[in-house]
Amino acid sequence: MTIGTAWLLPIGTDQLQRMEICDSVLGVLEQAEVAAYQTNHDRQLASLSRAAARIAASTIVEKAVLPHEWSFSRAPGGGRFLRAPEGLLMNVSIADNENFLVICMNNMTHGIGVDVESWQRPVGWRDTASRFFSAQEQSLIGHLSDEEGSDVFTMLWTGKEALAKASGKQLADLLELPLVESKQTNQQTLLLEGLIRDQWNIRWFDFGVDLVAICCDTTMSCALPTIVPIDCVKAINAKILEIALPRLGEIPSAGDAFWLVPAACLMANFQP
Amino acid sequence: MSLKKLLADVLRVYEQNITVDTSTKTLKAWNSSRHVELIMAIEKCYQIRFTTAEIVSLQSFRQIKEMLIKRDIVV
């Protein structure tokens, strides 16, 4: 059975200051990666993201696995894996910016990728598009106003980034891969329908100031998560708390650990 | 403009945060979109052009500096 989950966590200063709780669930490799960051803020965010990924993984497995029991490793291309003591392997993809931390994972043999970018117009986006994007994409962007064009640029960029993470390839090698077709003439089409390119399914999620793209391999009939109506968020959070909290029992200060559960889980777990 | 100042400006960090060991693995601000922005800024500043393979390989201040020195550019 394919299992997976996608979490979106608003990043707040309060959360980042609880790093010592995060560190207690991390493995040696993760701790080394966290320690390599130069600033406290980066170390805190890196620690939070890795700890949250472990907790997210613990919420979706049938047999209880405590967050600190997962074994973390990386693929040669940088892909992240969490392996349960009994061998279940989870592909993990993490993205963050100043507002959000997004974590996606599944247990497929193929990857999953996620990216989050601000809708704010990127510096030099037209130059970047004309240097790196496909002719189709350049043509599409070339016919759009600055506002529309930069939005499409952001969508294409996040889509390519998510695809790069899912496929384990370098982003620079995928920038020329066209993500638009002739019928896709505006970002609304891209946003509403998502995209299937080769075996990859890419979907975009608009969170107001930021855009999230998630890419998943379709050859194993893996479904992408959908945005949950805001009315359902509380129910989902309650369910996550119900599952996650008992599994935090061996973590020091576990009573404070509930803050790691998404404050606003905008995407549902997916189990096709 | 010094290479260090250029990196700091593009990555929106203080210049003292840029050291020879600064890389995509030590600075979250050095993400993929800023990396491309940085590459294009370096190309413009030093009037050079990187290949795709070079763009992928340039993941730290040290690597960028060494690449520029290889091209006889004083940084």
Q: Which of B27, B32, B55 sits opposite A161 (nearest CB)?
A: B32
Q: What is the pLDDT of residue A37?
A: 96
The H or E element spanning position B55 is helix B52-57
CA distance B67 to chain A (A): 18
Residues forming beta bridges with residue A105, ordered by sequence position: A5, A92
CA-based nearest residue to A59, from A29, A90, A30? A90
CB contact under 8 A, A38 and B32: no
Q: Which residue of B has its CA nearest to A123?
A: B37
Q: Are A201 and A253 in contact (CB under 8 A)?
A: no
CA distance linking residue A69 with residue A116, whole number of Å = 28
CA distance A100 to chain B (A): 13
Residues of B in Cβ contact (< 8 Å) with A164: 32
Residues 67-86 of A with CB under 8 A from B: none
Question: In this structure, which topology does domain A4-109+223-260 adopt according to CATH?
Answer: Ribosomal Protein L22; Chain A (3.90.470)
Residues of A in Cβ contact (< 8 Å) with B36: 128, 132
Q: What is the pLDDT of residue A1?
A: 61
Query: Phi and psi at residue A116, in whole multiples of 5°?
Result: -130, 130
What percent of chain B shows pLDDT beyond 70? 100
Tens place of pLDDT for every residue, chain A, 272 residues? Answer: 667 777 777 776 555 555 566 777 899 999 999 999 999 889 988 988 898 888 888 877 777 788 889 999 998 888 899 999 988 999 999 999 888 888 888 877 667 899 999 888 888 899 999 999 998 889 888 888 998 899 999 999 999 999 999 888 888 888 888 888 655 555 555 655 677 777 788 888 777 788 888 888 776 555 555 544 444 444 555 555 555 545 444 433 333 333 333 433 434 334 33
Q: Hey, what domains does chain B have and what are their CATH numbers?
A: 3-70 (1.10.1200.10)
Q: What is the pLDDT of residue A217?
A: 78
Residues of chain A with CATH 3.90.470.20: 4-109+223-260
Residues forming beta bridges with residue A199, ordered by sequence position: none
pTM over 0.80: yes
Question: Number of Cβ pairs closer than 8 Å across A and B?
Answer: 45
Q: Which residue of A has its CA nearest to B49?
A: A131
**Amino acid in position A122:** P
